Amino acid sequence: GNSVTQMEGPVTLSEEAFLTINCTYTATGYPSLFWYVQYPGEGLQLLLKATKADDKGSNKGFEATYRKETTSFHLEKGSVQVSDSAVYFCALSDPGSGYALNFGKGTSLLVTP
């Protein structure tokens, strides 16, 4: 079956530090890959996505590249801000599973001034 594994948190960084959150996946087909973010007290929302190999998703300074050879979709940001403090979920969507999302366990990020 499909699964998503992402690095354990919590992650604590100082403002302007470089961020990497690792995500690897297992899928039987050709999934689409996503990063969702959950800010404190808010609902889940899409941060970025990639639908095929070598695609790069980007938004709000965050990037992730769909690497089929390593089955990875690592999230990166060059300079984090306090406002980036949130929980980040890596997820995949596979046509074989009816397009419901498989989520990783989530990584909590705290950025301090």
Partner 1 sequence: SAVISQKPSRDICQRGTSLTIQCQVDSQVTMMFWYRQQPGQSLTLIATANQGSEATYESGFVIDKFPISRPNLTFSTLTVSNMSPEDSSIYLCSVGGQGGTEAFFGQGTRLTVV
- Geometric angle at alpha carbon 86, from 58 and 17, rounded to 5°: 65
Pick 34 or 111: Cβ nearer partner 1: 34
Among 56, 96, 100, 112, binds partner 1 (CB under 8 A): 100
The nearer residue to partner 1, 45 or 112, going by C-beta atoms, is 45
Min CB(95)–partner 1 separation in Å: 8
- The C-alpha atoms of residue 108 and residue 89 are separated, in whole angstroms, by 9
Going by C-alpha positions, the residue among 94, 89, 106 that lies closest to residue 34 is 89
Q: Is 7 in the site for partner 1 (CB under 8 A)?
A: no
53 binds partner 1 (CB under 8 A): no
Would you call the peptide bond into 40 cis, given omega within 30 degrees of 0 as the criterion? no
Q: Considering only residues 40, 43, 69, 113, which one is a binding residue for partner 1 as defined by CB under 8 A?
A: 43
CA 63 to chain centre: 9
Q: Is 98 a residue that touches partner 1 (CB under 8 A)?
A: yes
Instruction: Determine, following the binding rule CB under 8 A, whether residue 65 of this chain makes contact with partner 1.
Output: no
What is the spatial distance between Cα 44 and Cα 66, in angstroms, rounded to a whole number?
21
Report the interface residues with partner 1, using CB under 8 A.
32, 34, 43-46, 49, 51, 89, 93, 95, 98-106
